[in-house]
Amino acid sequence: MDRDSWSDYEKYLVMADNSSKLAQTYTGFVNFKDLVSILKKISVSAENQFQFNGRLYDTPFTSERAKQALSNIDNGTFDRAITQIAALTKLNIY
């Protein structure tokens, strides 16, 4: 089956299987989707902060870095930016 026809969950499971940083659970996937959403916000913003769950956070990197992380994720490659955002927002992906 072609990767393009996989569901987001299937893509996540393969990335999690290839990385020791992601839990191979549905809860991990849901939290991962939140992290991707945050990365998308950062990637299109010139602001130095982002809001998540009603709280304001300082952006740990540039919008260009967020775009690079999203590109890596789209290609199925784990990116360290995921763990940076997870640690900042206390989202459990492990």
39-94: pLDDT as tens digits: 999 999 999 999 999 999 999 999 999 999 999 999 999 999 999 999 999 999 88
- The answer to whether residue 31 sits within a structural domain is yes
- The answer to whether residue 1 sits within a structural domain is no
The number of domains in the chain is 1
Quote the domain boundaries for residue 42: 7-89
- The answer to whether residue 16 sits within a structural domain is yes
Residue 1 has pLDDT above 80, yes or no: no
pLDDT class of 7 with cuts at 50, 70, 90: very high
- The answer to whether residue 77 sits within a structural domain is yes
Distance, CA of 63 to CA of 5 (rounded, Å)? 28
Q: Which amino acid is at 81?
A: A
- Quick one: DSSP state of residue 61? S
- The answer to whether residue 2 sits within a structural domain is no
